[in-house]
Amino acid sequence: MEITGIELRRIAMPLVAPFRTSFGTETTRDVLLVRVVTPEAEGWGECVAMSEPLYSSEYVDAAADVLRRFLIPALPRELDPQAVGPALAPFKGHRMAKAALEAAVLDASLRITGESFARYLGATRDRVPCGVSVGIMGSVAELLDTVGAYVEEGYVRVKLKIGPGWDVTPVRAVRERFGEDLLLQVDANAAYTLADARHLARLDDFDLLLIEQPLADDDLVQHARLARSIRTPICLDESIESAAHAAAISLGACSVVNIKPGRVGGYLEARRIHDLCRAHGVAVWCGGMLETGIGRAANVALAALPGFTLPGDTSASRRYFHTDVTPPFELDGGHLDVPDGPGLGVDPVPDVLDKVTTATEWIRL
């Protein structure tokens, strides 16, 4: 099956509430969608880069540029998901752009063969338990209200975004209000240095599942040192960009890995990291990048693999958006159903998609 052409579509999705992390505040999700068209089916991929290079070096305009200038021209005309990674490998980095293109090829291919993402990736469950990521708030009272509402909705695990000046106090307050049975973890998005080790050790009192990315992306050696001076397990996010990086585990830099398909260059690399970690008895969970229903569908499929033993940031659509571009993902007893239709198993709703689209570009192959 030959690819006819590829559409790059920019959409602007207003968030239900501003999302504040240690690196900034977002009010609108600026998303690049990739649509691969063939005579028999089309496939969708979502690029998770942010509009600014604050989480990683990637950003949406750069992703669109590298896709149109280098990645799409290098793509084999024949629709073959396994061939995408090798064809794009000569181009360094730009993993989020590569992941979106590979996902779109994979979706088109699976829609033709009738297989779901979940089945193709090797999922062993038909629903996944869901966690929620809670931004930095203006006050502890506001945080407790927000967490309370998510717990009411059924989320089985809560992750608090932390940073210098917003760490021990909010974590203690949430632990005291919601009790020791609440599965609780924190995410610093690289906001600390090893000089903060004694301060971070104060979080040991709160029985956290893990602390995610306390130090800078490239501070693997310091993460290994920090791991020896705090009891809370360290989970890496930003630091792990490939299966090769996941070998950081063997350095003692972390004992848990957050897998985000975009960050590591695609769902196939994500599966390789899963397999590696599983073989070493290292827990993994599926991260989130405020995806629309398109990226969310694929993440939920990935999270259904057997090594994903911790709840992911695979929240319901309404956590982020009043109106999703697909039929909304909704929590049922703290779980999301894994789509089982061909490919992603969900389709964008044309009217909604048109309303949020800010630009489209057609690239003929």
Q: Which residues bind ligand NPQ (CB under 6 A)?
A: 19, 21, 26, 29, 50, 55, 133, 187, 189, 237, 287-290, 313
Which parts of the chain fold into alpha helices (H)? 60-66, 72-74, 81-88, 95-113, 117-121, 140-153, 168-178, 197-201, 220-229, 261-264, 267-279, 293-303, 350-356
Are 212 and 235 contacting, i.e. CB atoms less than 8 angstroms apart? yes
SS3 43: strand
The tokens describing 19, both together, are 């999302």
Are 318 and 286 contacting, i.e. CB atoms less than 8 angstroms apart? no
Cβ neighbour number for residue 223 with a 10 Å cutoff: 22
Q: How far is the CB of 322 from ligand NPQ (least distance, A)?
A: 16
| Distance from C-alpha of 277 to C-alpha of 24, rounded to nearest angstrom | 31
Based on CB atoms, which residue is closest to ligand NPQ, 120 or 329? 329
- The one catalytic residue among 92, 98, 159, 161: 161
Q: Catalytic annotation on 92?
A: no
Please give the residues from 209 up to 228 whose contact with Mg ion meets the rule CB under 5 A: 212
Q: How far is the CB of 42 from ligand NPQ (least distance, A)?
A: 25
Based on CB atoms, which residue is closest to ligand NPQ, 42 or 187? 187
Q: Catalytic annotation on 159?
A: no
Stretch that binds Mg ion, among 32-40, 152-160, 194-202, 208-216 (CB under 5 A): 208-216
| Distance from C-alpha of 267 to C-alpha of 346, rounded to nearest angstrom | 17
Please give the backbone phi and psi of residue 279, each rounded to the nearest 5 degrees, phi first.
-65, -25
Q: How far is the CB of 314 from ligand NPQ (least distance, A)?
A: 10
Based on CB atoms, which residue is closest to Mg ion, 3 or 188? 188
Based on CB atoms, which residue is closest to Mg ion, 313 or 347? 313
Q: How far is the CB of 91 from ligand NPQ (least distance, A)?
A: 23
Length of the chain: 365
In the list ligand NPQ, Mg ion, none, the entry touching 289 (Cβ below 5 to 8 angstroms by class) is: ligand NPQ
SS3 63: helix
Which parts of 18-78 fold into alpha helices (H)? 60-66, 72-74
Q: How far is the CB of 46 from ligand NPQ (least distance, A)?
A: 11
In the list Mg ion, ligand NPQ, none, the entry touching 133 (Cβ below 5 to 8 angstroms by class) is: ligand NPQ
The DSSP code sequence of 124-161 is: --SEEEBEEEE---S-HHHHHHHHHHHHHHT-SEEEEE
In the list Mg ion, ligand NPQ, none, the entry touching 147 (Cβ below 5 to 8 angstroms by class) is: none
Based on CB atoms, which residue is closest to ligand NPQ, 106 or 289? 289
237 part of the interface to Mg ion, by CB under 5 A: yes
User: Which position among 187, 217, 269, 291 is part of the footprint of Mg ion (CB under 5 A)?
Assistant: 187
In the list Mg ion, ligand NPQ, none, the entry touching 290 (Cβ below 5 to 8 angstroms by class) is: ligand NPQ
Nearest to 363 by CA among 20, 53, 75: 75
Q: Residue 77 carries which DSSP code?
A: S
26 part of the interface to Mg ion, by CB under 5 A: no
- The one catalytic residue among 92, 98, 159, 260: 260
Based on CB atoms, which residue is closest to ligand NPQ, 72 or 158? 158
Q: Which residues of this chain interact with Mg ion, rule CB under 5 A?
A: 187, 212, 237
Residues marked active site are found at 161, 260
